Amino acid sequence: MKVEFVSKQIIKPSSPTPQNLGIFKLSFIDQLAPVMHTRILYFYPNIQNEAADRDHDRFERLKTSLSETLTLFYHLAGRMKDNAVIECNDEGVEFCEARVHGGFLSDILKQPDADSVHQFVPIDDAHLGSGFLAKVQVNLFDCGGLAIGVSLSHKIADASTIGSFIKAWSCAAVGCMTESMLPKYILGSLYPSMDFPIVLPAVEFRHFNCITRRFVFDSSKITKLKATAASKMVENPTRVEAVLALIWKCVTIASRTNLGITKRPSMVSQFVNIRKRTSPPLPETCVGNFLGHFMAEEPGESNNDDSEMNLQGLVIHLRKGLEQFTKEHVQKLQEGNNAFMTVCEGLKDLELVYKEGIDFYGCTSWCRFAFYEADFGWGKPKWVSIPSLKIKNSIILTDMSDGKGIEAWVTLSEQDMALMETNLELLEFASLNPSII
């Protein structure tokens, strides 16, 4: 399967950005965000078997509606300056057209591969100073199917912002844009930018020999898993709590087994969308980064290595961590004098990722963002994927197309993954990389 790039052009807003909106000030949370792009990938089968002469129409629809959407998300077409503001100069976003030869979209859907999907999304060259805050790569398969890869700078977008942008874009493509979809530019005034002595460098992840695998939890298995994970303290675990607890248990056991030990602390850091947790809640359409993370720890100090590593106990740890985060972190964020220090203290926790003597796992949940609703005029996507960054001990959770099941992309060392793939408790509730078709 070969991806051939046919054209690359700049898409600008359909209407000039008003002069009074020429400067977009970052929030200090955006300023602290990593210099990297976050990417998402949509797969659309050619259900109607459109003729070749319609391919041009589909590309034009995407470009025209993207241009219209950039009039609303005008900051995406601008350029970053000094890690403090975006000059909204309408310089545009990158739009690449590509043809995929030697394979069909169904080949990808039959056996999804964590490595192969990277060729369908824009290259993250933020560290090279490309300047683009948003990129799109549209891949046309020989069968007529499409894969649309979208990449937004993490400096100005979290998962919620990406979801808002793609929802608005797809609705513009079919002419059903509503006022409720309009972006809200309020985070910069709530958390004003600050003067930092240096410009933050691009994120540099340490490279390990690691492998990514996709585990799928369908809705019926999640129902059983939630019942198993329930306890008097958490009578009704959420989907994410139940799935993450099971994965946390299995990866920790794999690590301890390979190390030949039974006592070793294990920690999970889970990122949380803060918008709905403030009082009053902020609209999901407010753009920028407004997320934090909480920590949950399984101390690993018991003589019986299975006494603490049970689903009920891990779910309790996760629930307590989230409740404490909401009560303390979110409350401090809403107290203006404490907000900056609160965010900085939270970032320090992430230094544990490289600390010796503990197992540290980072989880990002992209569930409940309705990514499967993106219909550009040829139906909803058959599959939505979040290409893995290949970060060791990372877990990415996404919804399945029914909105009830969960896909988990787990990245571990080769040794730990070998045990994960054969863990009977995990495979009781999850399928290893099943076909999407």
CA distances in angstroms from 37 to 127, 130, 162, 168, 243, listed in the order given = 10, 11, 11, 20, 27
Bridge-based pairing state of the strands 134-141 and 146-153: antiparallel
- 318: helix, coil or strand? helix
Backbone angles phi, psi at 8, to 5 degrees: -140, 125
Our answer to whether residue 154 is catalytic in this structure is yes
How far apart are the C-alpha atoms of 316 and 296, rounded to whole Å? 9
Bridge-based pairing state of the strands 359-365 and 383-385: unpaired
CA–chain centroid gap for 84, Å, is 24
- 347: helix, coil or strand? helix
- 182: helix, coil or strand? coil
- Cβ neighbours, 10 Å, residue 110: 12
How far apart are the C-alpha atoms of 143 and 50, rounded to whole Å? 9
CA–chain centroid gap for 74, Å, is 22
CB-side neighbour CA atoms (13 Å) of 349: 21
Which of 55, 107, 349, 375 is catalytic? The answer is 375
Residue entry with tokens 């493509």: 173
Q: Give the sign of the dihedral formed by CA 280, CA 364, CA 293, CA 194.
A: negative
How far apart are the C-alpha atoms of 74 and 400, rounded to whole Å? 31
How far apart are the C-alpha atoms of 352 and 315, rounded to whole Å? 21
Which of 37, 154, 293, 329 is catalytic? The answer is 154
E strands present in 219-318:
266-273, 291-298
DSSP state of 110: H
CA distances in angstroms from 188 to 86, 191, 272, 276, listed in the order given = 12, 5, 19, 18
Residue pair 269/276 in contact (Cβ under 8 Å)? The answer is no
How far apart are the C-alpha atoms of 181 and 184, rounded to whole Å? 9
Our answer to whether residue 375 is catalytic in this structure is yes
Buried b (16+ CB within 10 A) or exposed e, 217-255: bbeebbeebbebbbeeebeebbbbbbbbbbbbbbbbbbb
Q: Which residues are catalytic?
A: 154, 375
